[in-house]
A and B are shown apart, each in its own frame.
Chain A
Amino acid sequence: MAPQTLYEKLWSSHVVHQEADGTALIYIDRHLVHEVTSPQAFEGLKLAGRKPWRISSIVATADHNTPTDHWDEGITDPVSRQQVETLDANIREVGSLAYFPFKNERQGIIHVIGPENGTTLPGMTVVCGDSHTSTHGAFACLAHGIGTSEVEHVLATQCLLQKKSKTMLVKVEGQLGRGVTAKDVVLAVIGRIGTAGGTGYAIEFGGSAIRSLSMEGRMTVCNMAIEAGARAGLVAVDETTIAYLRDKPFAPKGELWDKAAAYWRTLKSDEGAQFDKIVEIDAATIAPQVTWGTSPEMVTTVDGRVPDPAQFADPVKREGAERALKYMGLAPNTAITEIAVDQVFIGSCTNSRIEDLREAAAVAKGRRKAASVKRVLVVPGSGLVKHQAEAEGLDKVFLEAGFEWREPGCSMCLAMNADRLEPGERCASTSNRNFEGRQGAGGRTHLVSPAMAAAAAVTGHFADVRELA
């Protein structure tokens, strides 16, 4: 057989039916559900008198709308509460493999809890009504974000209508410098290929720098594949993957585990497999990244400067940059380290796992939040992450530094709950989107790694974490 890419292996093992024009029905192994994009799907299903096809594929949680403090008061915003209660009612009625409702100790951001509970397994197709489903590709899963009509389609048929993507290999070779994290790698990739660079592709991340990342780092990278326009990101299975999954609650046990692991080890691109596009990046050239605009591709290094739009040759890009600088309230050529921040957010499905919190805590330890910074929010990705962090004393480190230690959820990543920026406020954020208004109407977001966010919190402006020592 001709050598195959990982994507092709995953694709061909899930095709149920194919139309002449290439549109295929793909079987879905895991369906992740949260409160924002599911109510209309459950309603549609009911209205049509249909039943869910395979309940044991469903893993659900409430994350987008849930508050991150005063849990004793419940969800005070009535509209948010209705959405969460609708999910409760739907899951109660329909059933699921696992449901982690508001306040459950395993509740958290859907893309954090899937892997940590072992409900995301290599070789699966994973879907969720959320674009950052690409996160799960770190486990060599074909993981897609889908719309609400598709949520309903998967509920009703256990399948998704798809066309095969093209394949791109992003190869990051070499060793990452000190203070350079998975987040910096993926921001550098997006800076290189652009937010539409991956449109129509499934991106496989490979090369020695990716291999050397932990599963958590790989999830950070795949999480942002969607910000490069790719619906799916992928990393091949290796011993790091296998070791992570062993003993996770929903991972197979005993003989089944051995059988599974043997199969999982085949989930990598074959030697000589052909990609439609290859992008190569030298890991040693990547420095800590900071975005300066309103799209993740508007990114530079911490020792860089805000660009001058006049220098952009492409008129659409120039106008985009001008508009972005106006929105961000930045003058061309400003040194990144001169930009002061009002708030700092450490959290989101990109960077709220235990290793992220450890990185941030390492910088915060023995330091204090700068007086000019109004608020530093640290929001763990799940109840389990929170527990672990507290067991390691990270909560104390943050609290002593003047940071706030919160309950798990999406929080200020998209500001659907009470955590948000005021108009004009500037935030160093470990999330994945710096769109206009993303963290609150008029708010200004700069995307950075957890260590860089902590560095901004203690200095009051962007600072090179490599120099903070």
Chain B
Amino acid sequence: MKPFQTFDGLVAPIDRANVDTDAIIPKQFLKSIKRSGFGPNLFDEWRYLDVGQPGQDCTNRPKNPDFVLNQPRYQGAQILLARDNFGCGSSREHAPWALEDYGFRVIIAPSFADIFFNNSFKNGLLPIKLDAAELDVLFAQCEATEGYRLKVDLAAQTITRPDGKAIPFDVDPFRKECLLNGWDDIGLTLRHDDEIRAFEAKRRTEHPYYFA
């Protein structure tokens, strides 16, 4: 996993609540057995006017001019502003894979669906929960200012607006540590392999019916 430290990126807004994982990456793309290459199909049904198929070259597909990410001013966006309950729906990790592959590194929303939130951290994508009022300001500024950028400092836990105001955010210390260092969860967990073995042996004795 790529380590995440400070980061300065162009911002794009998706101003709707309950953006679900079917919208983020429609199911026909889940047939892939790979982890990469989902970026061109991010928000496929909103982004294109035709129906996308896996394995298709997307460069010449008709784009929906009304979809926000298709506007020229948001090309190259790396920070996404979103509304409540972003990423609700399925457990598909293809959702953060698609966001990351498209180029997003940070998603800022008032709330996220649990599994999506979890999956994001495992893929170097930082989901930040921000107070709705604070976020309203970001939406307004972003829409009013072409080329609107934000600076995200994970170590300091701040988002800095172009006007210089720094907004603090919360992040779980353990996840922060992993993300800052680009640590692999599995490697970390296996440091406790003795404890896992001991736990398992005890459970096997106390509850043998789970080990049949």
Closest to B121 in A: A149
Q: How far is the CA of A433 from the CA of B209 in the complex (A)?
A: 35
Closest to B175 in A: A23
Q: How far is the CA of A224 from the CA of B118 in the complex (A)?
A: 20
Interface flags for A399-418 (1: CB within 8 Å of B; 0: not) read 00000000000000011100
- Given known A-B contacts A83-B31, A145-B91, A416-B27, A319 and B199 have beta carbons under 8 A apart: no
Q: Is the beta-carbon distance between B91 and A157 smaller than 8 angstroms?
A: no
B27 to chain A, nearest CB (A): 5
Interface flags for B193-209 (1: CB within 8 Å of A; 0: not) read 10110011001000111
B192 beta carbon closer than 8 Å to chain A:
yes
Q: Is the beta-carbon distance between B33 and A43 smaller than 8 angstroms?
A: yes
- Given known A-B contacts A252-B212, A319-B16, A435-B20, A147 and B26 have beta carbons under 8 A apart: no
Contact residues of B between 99 and 123, Cβ < 8 Å to A: 111-115, 118-119, 122-123
B209 to chain A, nearest CB (A): 4
A361 beta carbon closer than 8 Å to chain B:
no
Give the size range of B's interface with the partner. Answer: 35 or more
Q: Is the beta-carbon distance between A435 and B93 smaller than 8 angstroms?
A: no
Q: Is the beta-carbon distance between A231 and B34 smaller than 8 angstroms?
A: no
Q: How far is the CA of A102 from the CA of B180 in the complex (A)?
A: 43
Q: Is the beta-carbon distance between B186 and A152 smaller than 8 angstroms?
A: yes
Interface flags for B55-93 (1: CB within 8 Å of A; 0: not) read 100000000000000000000000000011100111111
Which of A180-188, A192-200, A337-345, A453-461 lies at the interface? Answer: A192-200
Closest to A157 in B: B189
Residues of the B chain whose Cβ atoms lie less than 8 Å from the Cβ of A437: 22-23, 26, 45
Q: Which of A48, A131, A161, A415 contacts B189 (CB 8 A)?
A: A161
B211 to chain A, nearest CB (A): 7
Closest to B193 in A: A157
Which of A14-22, A235-243, A369-377, A383-391 lies at the interface? Answer: A14-22
A244 beta carbon closer than 8 Å to chain B:
no
B166 beta carbon closer than 8 Å to chain A:
no
Residues of the A chain whose Cβ atoms lie less than 8 Å from the Cβ of B196: 16-17, 25, 27, 53, 157-159
Q: How far is the CA of A149 from the CA of B172 in the complex (A)?
A: 19
- Given known A-B contacts A131-B90, A149-B123, A156-B186, A17 and B192 have beta carbons under 8 A apart: yes
B2 beta carbon closer than 8 Å to chain A:
no
Q: Which of A20, A86, A130 contacts B33 (CB 8 A)?
A: A86
Interface flags for B121-140 (1: CB within 8 Å of A; 0: not) read 01100000000000000000
Q: Is the beta-carbon distance between A149 and B195 smaller than 8 angstroms?
A: no
A39 beta carbon closer than 8 Å to chain B:
yes
B144 beta carbon closer than 8 Å to chain A:
no
Q: Is the beta-carbon distance between B119 and A147 smaller than 8 angstroms?
A: yes
B30 beta carbon closer than 8 Å to chain A:
yes
A174 beta carbon closer than 8 Å to chain B:
no
Interface flags for B145-189 (1: CB within 8 Å of A; 0: not) read 000000000000000000000000000111100000000011001
B141 beta carbon closer than 8 Å to chain A:
no
Q: How far is the CA of A459 from the CA of B35 in the complex (A)?
A: 45
A88 to chain B, nearest CB (A): 12
Q: Please, how many residues of chain A have a CB less than 8 angstroms from a CB on the other chain?
A: 77
Q: Is the beta-carbon distance between A130 and B185 smaller than 8 angstroms?
A: no
Interface flags for A20-39 (1: CB within 8 Å of B; 0: not) read 11010101010000001101
Q: Is the beta-carbon distance between B92 and A37 smaller than 8 angstroms?
A: yes
A179 beta carbon closer than 8 Å to chain B:
no
Q: How far is the CA of A257 from the CA of B207 in the complex (A)?
A: 11
A246 beta carbon closer than 8 Å to chain B:
no
- Given known A-B contacts A21-B173, A149-B122, A416 and B28 have beta carbons under 8 A apart: yes
- Given known A-B contacts A147-B91, A231-B114, A159 and B189 have beta carbons under 8 A apart: yes
A95 beta carbon closer than 8 Å to chain B:
no
Residues of the A chain whose Cβ atoms lie less than 8 Å from the Cβ of B91: 37, 129-131, 133, 145-147
Q: Which of B16, B27, B92, B210 contacts A320 (CB 8 A)?
A: B16
Q: Is the beta-carbon distance between B89 and A433 smaller than 8 angstroms?
A: yes
B117 to chain A, nearest CB (A): 9
A82 beta carbon closer than 8 Å to chain B:
yes
* 10 nearest A-B pairs in the assembled complex, by CB-CB distance: A147-B119, A39-B33, A252-B209, A147-B93, A149-B122, A145-B91, A148-B93, A196-B85, A131-B91, A79-B31
What is B's interface to A at a CB cutoff of 8 Å?
A: 16-18, 20, 22-23, 26-28, 30-35, 45, 51, 54-55, 83-85, 88-93, 96, 111-115, 118-119, 122-123, 172-175, 185-186, 189-190, 192-193, 195-196, 199-200, 203, 207-212
User: Can you list 16 A-B pairs with a CB-CB distance of less than 8 A?
Assistant: A21-B172, A25-B196, A37-B30, A37-B93, A40-B34, A44-B35, A82-B33, A131-B115, A148-B119, A156-B190, A157-B196, A159-B189, A256-B208, A416-B27, A416-B30, A433-B89
